[in-house]
Amino acid sequence: MCPDKVLTGCVFLNYIQTSKEAEVDVSQRSTTKGHNEVTLTSSSKGRKLAAITIVGAVALTLAGCTAGSATENASSSTAGLESGFGARAENREAYFITYYNPASDAFWAQILSGAEDAAELGNLTLTHQTADADPATMVTLVQTAIATDPAVIFMPFNEGEAWVDVACQAHDAGITVISYNVPAPDTAGECVSGFVGQDFYEVGTIVGQALLDSGKVEEGDKVLITAEEPDQPYALQRGGGAYDVLSEAGIGVLPQEQWLRVGGDDAGALDALTSWLVANPDVKAVVPVGGTPHRNLPAALEAAGLSDVAIIGFDTAPQIVQGLKDGVILATADQQGYIQGFQSTMQGVLALDFGFSPANINSGGLGLITEDTVENIEADDLQGVRW
């Protein structure tokens, strides 16, 4: 069961084998979903493993699924450490289900990248499916996964209570369910084991305070909070933290019923943001509590002809990195999606092979990324991992 607040701090587990040197030659590794062939060759002192070829899995046909391509990460049957890590459990089938589509959402691509890396290390056969921002499709995907009898299912709880029943169906079928990004509500009880993600409310207060400290807003100034889905738990908690800090200081931050919904599609988000900004040229700051509105705000401000509106929000993406470098965005709270995918999947491996209980892990990101610090994450080879 997930408590009201996850553990404070960043619990970062490192799974690195240092006793032997290894070389890995990856002839192809695609970040997009499809039928890509990947050839891995591994060698070490005193041990040589034959090269193996892995072919991407055939896409699953799922009722109601609009973006249901499946990918698998699998290692050879001889993989695993002497301790039994990566090999002890016979059933190594796992489903990693995303709410937003990693093919079009940079942040969710970071999450999936972490999951795929951990699955490879832990010798899991990882099947990825996306609900493509459709709540009903998420239920269908989980039910379809249950029918295949995997060992573990990884899923977020963007819709909260609406997905508790299907998570409990998986649990009752003997499948371990681990949550990430958005925690399961308390009503999930023992149906969900562990959570990897950010303390949304706490970071919301940090974002709100940073906006105050910037001097960009004064008492009575209009401030908008916007999200993909303002009534989902992540938005209510992040936005609630920012709202409490700003309203207490007398800032005219709009109440929750006036928060702008933009959806998860970039084109729709850009239109919604631009229209609102044109109609509200007196706004002094916008706090996007989701990655979609955040990465589209710089373009929306330009389209609306506004240049003096402060932006401070959440997540990382190429547009957000550029906005920070250009001084258009004050700061962003990086919830470190790669960690969410990696640590949740790694916890699944540890539970399967050794029976360890999955824990609640704060994925960090309490320090904001600014124009002065963005260079720490913007290296080209970190795209897909940090931004």
Structural domain contains residue 286: yes
Mark whether 44 and 105 lie in a shared domain. Answer: yes
Together in a domain, 217 and 194: no
Do 108 and 238 meet the contact criterion of CB atoms below 8 Å apart? no
Residue 227 and residue 150 in one domain? no
Query: Which domain covers residue 117, as residue numbers?
Result: 23-198+336-365
The pLDDT confidence band at residue 78, using thresholds 50, 70 and 90, is low
Structural domain contains residue 276 = yes
Determine, yes or no, domain membership for 1. Answer: no
Whether residues 254 and 135 share a domain: the answer is no
83-130 pLDDT, tens digit each: 999 999 999 999 999 999 999 999 999 999 999 999 999 999 999 999
DSSP state of 211: H
| Phi, psi dihedral angles at 180 (to 5 degrees) | -150, 160
pLDDT tens track for 335-372: 999 999 999 999 999 999 999 999 999 998 778 999 99
* CATH number of the domain where residue 341 is located: 3.40.50.2300
Mean pLDDT of the chain: 84
Q: Is residue 117 part of a domain?
A: yes
**pLDDT range class, residue 45, cuts 50, 70, 90:** very low
Q: Is 64 exposed, middle or buried (0-12, 13-18, 19+ CB in 10 A)?
A: middle
pLDDT above 70 for 218: yes
**In a shared domain, residues 180 and 247:** no
Considering the domain architecture, whether residues 193 and 294 belong to the same structural domain is answered as no
Whether the pLDDT of residue 292 is over 80: the answer is yes
Domain-embedded: residue 8 = no
Give the max Cα distance, the chain.
70
| Tens-place pLDDT, residues 148-192 | 999 999 999 999 999 999 999 999 999 999 999 999 999 999 999
Q: Quick check: is 134 in a domain?
A: yes
* Residue 230 domain-assigned (yes or no): yes
Same domain, 238 and 301: yes
Based on the fold, state whether residues 149 and 253 are members of the same structural domain. no
Is residue 261 in some structural domain? yes
Predicted confidence at residue 348, as pLDDT, reads 98
Give percent of the chain above pLDDT 70.
80
Q: Model-level pTM?
A: 0.77
The reply to whether 303 and 346 lie within a common domain is no
In the prediction, which pLDDT does 216 show?
97
The pair phi, psi for residue 309, each rounded to 5°, is: -105, 125
Question: 237 pLDDT exceeds 70?
Answer: yes
253 and 168 inside one domain: no
The total number of structural domains that make up the chain: 2
Give the up-direction half-sphere exposure of residue 162: CA atoms within 13 A in the CB hemisphere.
Answer: 14
pLDDT given at position 367: 85
Residue 38, token pair as written in the block:
């990947």
Q: CA of 119: how far to CAs of 70, 172, 183, 349, in Å?
A: 14, 24, 21, 8
Rounded Cα distance, 121 and 112, in Å: 14
Name the helix (H) or strand (E) containing 179: strand 176-180
Instruction: Specify the higher pLDDT residue, 387 or 135.
Output: 135
303 and 343 share one domain: no
